[in-house]
Chains A and B, each alone.
Chain A
Amino acid sequence: MDQIIIQTLHGLVNGMVLAMVASGLTLIFGIMDIVNFAHGDLLMLGAFVGASVVGTTGNYWLALIVAAIVIAILGALLQITTLRPLIGRDPLTTILATFGISLVIQKYALWQWGPSVRQISEPVRGDFTLFHLQYPWYRIATAILAALIISGLWLFLKYGKYGIWIRATTQDRVMAQAMGIPVPLVYTGVFALGSAMAAASGVLFGPFAGVTQTMGFDFTVRAFVVVVVGGLGNLGGSILASIFISLLESYAAIVVSPAQAVIVSFVVLVLTMLFRPTGLFVPTPK
């Protein structure tokens, strides 16, 4: 019984971090129709930048902000140099281009920081006792922080001036352009925003398991699964799906090894695509 409660907590915390990763991916897909293969690698790069800042200044919150800004700038540059020329081409080419970006980022990280695992020390110390286990407060703080960041994004999209620009562009590109919204700039901004979300979630996740240059691909796949299960381009759906899948994986980890628990989420994905391809957490389309 206590194991189930521990795994529930675990699943919720992992789910919130995953939700943050997925919301960046959803944002980019929903608005730009780009499936970003490099999302997990931007996350990894953000985590490394964060680890370096923590290493030199010792300030975790500064690291979070610096990483988000650095990766946002990088994202904007990537969008301008590689994705902007591909607008209007087959969507396949953008996937391939982001795949190329992911290769380059991964090997760059290996070159810059080496293959060893980097630790980010936790900014919130202390544990509390949960049955027989010492559960760190930091994980709880992470879940709350992730929830705050996601709500901030949601409020920005709903009420912010630029958020309204972004939503207008999603709904009707041509009309938005006609109303004077600088659509190419919106694209660049959205990609930068999505990249910043990835970097921030990388820094948040860093203290959990350390930072390695191979962590990106794993996150990319998991974010894909979540985004498809939640319904592509649907922010609320992907948040619910992240929590749902993380919980399932946590429960599965009681029975099988964590490496095999991943299969559970893959099975959920396949079943979703078969029986409800529009996503689990969206109203049935009329």
Chain B
Amino acid sequence: MIATPAAPSRPRAAGYWIAFAVVVALLVIAPLALPPFWQRFVTEILIWGLLAMSSDILIGYTGMVSFGHSAFFGLGMYGAAAALLTVKPPSLVLALLYGLVAAGGAAVFVAYFATRLRDIYFGISTLVFSQIFYVIIFTWTEVTGGENGLTFSQPRLSILGLWSDRFTPTTLHWFVLAVVVVSYLLVRRITQSPFGMVLQSIRENEPRTRAIGYHVERYKIVAVMLSGLFAGLAGVLYAMQNKFAAPDFVFFVVSGEVVIYNVMGGMGTLVGPFAGAAFFLLLREGLSRYLTEYYLIPVGIIFIIMIIFLPQGLLGFLRRRLNA
């Protein structure tokens, strides 16, 4: 059990918040200082990081590895697509709502079955469920567009009807950043709440948690649902950035990358998955210039080496501080 002191010592907490403010401030000014390519790149890191963080709720805090997060991400995308294609004029709020409902609904459905199983069985069943969603989306061409997916236009950025404007890459970045920061603070609060403590106690010793009297399955279902909601949120953001939804994003490859982000960045830190996503995407960017799609060969080898020699990930050594 990672001992979380009831009252974190003042300098440590202060240091954490100062670092947090600096990072957020850097991300706010990033689109103003960076060329368009890197601006888009940073936005993408934020979105993939949000997806990876949603998975960290399960991997890092509850001790369940999901190999099916692509399903929730993809359903978030298709949910947003449904809202943007059927409702005129396209509405940002409805896109978010539809995406979250689709992903959350799918997560509850998957969780109902998968949480009865432990360890690798949980992983396999999430993988299988995500493949079911993939097959359905891939073959149901009339509704989902099949292999080609769906394309749509971006909604306008509107806040409570008071103000409305077209998205530019910069405002989109700020919007994504705001969503990500709020999500991060929310998930951080949740993992430190009594509910989060129960999740961590399930991770450390499930039979004991059950013996104390907690209804473990119920906690697990809620954890998967929360995780699915944030994954769906990432899906909505990605759909809005790229203006399309495609079955490729429901496929297993995305789930695998999410797990890689977590392992590379450090599980159970919430910030680690962002660092992992940034590290992976930077490696991909740097290597794919020379190796095109074969960049996964060196990245895969780096991944294996990190598992053997750096199981805590890049930010694992900060784990205590980040959870303080």
Q: Bound state CA distance, A259 and B131, in angstroms?
A: 11
Among B49-57, B85-93, B118-126, the stretch in contact with A: B118-126
Residues of A near B138 (CB, < 8 A) are 259
Residues of B near A104 (CB, < 8 A) are 296-297, 300-301, 304
Residues of B near A91 (CB, < 8 A) are 119-120
What distance in Å separates the Cβ of B233 from its nearest Cβ neighbour in chain A?
Answer: 25
**A270-B125 in contact (CB<8A):** yes
**B307-A35 in contact (CB<8A):** no
Q: Is A82 among interface residues, defined by CB-CB distance under 8 A?
A: yes
- Name the residue of chain B whose CB is nearest to the CB of A218: B131
Among candidates A95, A103, A259, residue contacting B65 with C-beta atoms closer than 8 Å: A95
**B120-A259 in contact (CB<8A):** no
Q: Bound state CA distance, A36 and B76, in angstroms?
A: 30
Q: Bound state CA distance, A99 and B296, in angstroms?
A: 12
Q: B105-138: which have CB < 8 Å to A?
A: 113, 116-117, 119-121, 123-125, 127-129, 131-132, 135-136, 138
Q: Bound state CA distance, A270 and B109, in angstroms?
A: 12
Residues of A near B300 (CB, < 8 A) are 100-101, 103-104, 107
What distance in Å separates the Cβ of A239 from its nearest Cβ neighbour in chain B?
Answer: 19
Q: Bound state CA distance, A89 and B128, in angstroms?
A: 26
**A107-B293 in contact (CB<8A):** yes
- Name the residue of chain B whose CB is nearest to the CB of A277: B117
Q: A269-286: which have CB < 8 Å to B?
A: 269-270, 273-274, 277
Q: Mark B234-263, 1 if CB is under 8 A from A, else 0.
A: 000000000000000000100010011001
Q: Is A178 among interface residues, defined by CB-CB distance under 8 A?
A: no
**A82-B139 in contact (CB<8A):** no
**B131-A266 in contact (CB<8A):** yes
**A92-B65 in contact (CB<8A):** yes
Q: Number of B residues whose C-beta is below 8 Å from A?
A: 36
Q: Is B16 among interface residues, defined by CB-CB distance under 8 A?
A: no
Q: Is B308 among interface residues, defined by CB-CB distance under 8 A?
A: yes
Q: Is A44 among interface residues, defined by CB-CB distance under 8 A?
A: no
Residues of B near A92 (CB, < 8 A) are 65, 119
Residues of A near B136 (CB, < 8 A) are 263
Number of A-B contacts (CB under 8 A): 97
Among candidates A86, A221, A274, residue contacting B308 with C-beta atoms closer than 8 Å: A86
What distance in Å separates the Cβ of A32 from its nearest Cβ neighbour in chain B?
Answer: 13
**A257-B139 in contact (CB<8A):** yes
Q: Is B311 among interface residues, defined by CB-CB distance under 8 A?
A: yes
What distance in Å separates the Cβ of A62 from its nearest Cβ neighbour in chain B?
Answer: 29
- Name the residue of chain A whose CB is nearest to the CB of B136: A263
Q: Bound state CA distance, A257 and B141, in angstroms?
A: 13
Residues of A near B121 (CB, < 8 A) are 228, 273, 277
What distance in Å separates the Cβ of A220 from its nearest Cβ neighbour in chain B?
Answer: 9
Q: Mark A78-119, 1 if CB is under 8 A from B, else 0.
A: 000010011001011101110111011011101100000000
Most buried by B among A85, A103, A106, A257: A103
Q: Is A208 among interface residues, defined by CB-CB distance under 8 A?
A: no
Q: Is A260 among interface residues, defined by CB-CB distance under 8 A?
A: yes
What distance in Å separates the Cβ of B72 from its nearest Cβ neighbour in chain A?
Answer: 17
Among candidates B128, B139, B294, residue contacting A270 with C-beta atoms closer than 8 Å: B128
**A97-B294 in contact (CB<8A):** no
What distance in Å separates the Cβ of A103 from its nearest Cβ neighbour in chain B?
Answer: 4
Q: Is A217 among interface residues, defined by CB-CB distance under 8 A?
A: yes
Q: A161-220: which have CB < 8 Å to B?
A: 217
Among candidates A96, A111, A228, A269, residue contacting B263 with C-beta atoms closer than 8 Å: A96
What distance in Å separates the Cβ of A248 from its nearest Cβ neighbour in chain B?
Answer: 15
**B128-A266 in contact (CB<8A):** yes
Residues of A near B219 (CB, < 8 A) are none
Q: Bound state CA distance, A95 and B122, in angstroms?
A: 13
28 sample A-B contacts, Cβ–Cβ < 8 Å, listed by A number: A35-B123, A82-B304, A85-B308, A95-B120, A95-B123, A96-B303, A97-B308, A100-B303, A101-B300, A103-B299, A103-B303, A104-B297, A107-B293, A110-B294, A221-B128, A224-B127, A228-B124, A259-B138, A260-B135, A262-B131, A269-B128, A270-B113, A270-B125, A270-B129, A273-B116, A273-B121, A277-B116, A277-B117
Q: What 9 pairs between A and B have smallest CB-CB spacing?
A: A104-B300, A103-B300, A100-B304, A100-B303, A107-B296, A107-B297, A100-B300, A35-B120, A266-B128
- B interface residues, Cβ below 8 angstroms from A: 65, 113, 116-117, 119-121, 123-125, 127-129, 131-132, 135-136, 138-139, 252, 256, 259-260, 263, 293-294, 296-297, 299-301, 303-304, 307-308, 311
